[in-house]
């Protein structure tokens, strides 16, 4: 849900940049930064290992790009963040299917 919210806010910010509505853009980018902060805060660095560390780096990068997008009204920077958020969401959404496939493969190997 956080990823969906961040994506919706950044998409709205892109629209505001395109239309020159800079005050509304700032609000949407601020909301997106706050959501990314929540995502970063939810990372468990001890249990998450390398994946958590890489996500933290990616979230930091997205923060930087959002600040650049806001400061320069840079649609391309905002679109890059939207693409990254979409890729992360798709990866999370695909996990249950991957786990089901792995479980089925393990059951097949274990069957006589």
CATH of the domain at 96: 1.20.120.340
Q: What is the pLDDT of residue 100?
A: 66
Q: Is the dihedral of CA 20, 66, 37, 7 positive or negative?
A: positive
- Residue 99 confidence (pLDDT): 63
Q: 32 near 9, Cβ under 8 Å?
A: yes
pLDDT score, position 5 = 96
* pLDDT at residue 96 in the model: 65
Residue 75's pLDDT is what?
98
Tokens encoding 18? 């395109």
Structural contact between residues 32 and 66, judged by C-beta atoms closer than 8 angstroms: yes
Domain count, the chain: 1
Query: Which regions of the chain are under pLDDT 50?
Result: none
The boundaries of the domain holding residue 65 are 2-110
């Amino acid at each position: 849900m956080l990823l969906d919210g961040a994506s919706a806010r950044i998409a709205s910010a892109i629209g505001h940049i395109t239309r020159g509505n800079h005050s509304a853009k700032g609000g949407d980018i601020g909301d997106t930064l706050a959501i990314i902060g929540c995502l970063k805060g939810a990372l468990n660095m001890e249990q998450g290992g390398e994946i958590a560390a890489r996500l933290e780096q990616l979230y930091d990068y997205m923060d930087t790009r959002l600040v650049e997008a806001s400061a320069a009204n840079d649609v391309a920077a905002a679109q890059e963040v939207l693409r990254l958020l979409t890729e992360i969401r798709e990866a999370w959404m695909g996990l249950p299917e991957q786990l089901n496939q792995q479980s089925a493969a393990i059951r097949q190997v274990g069957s006589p």
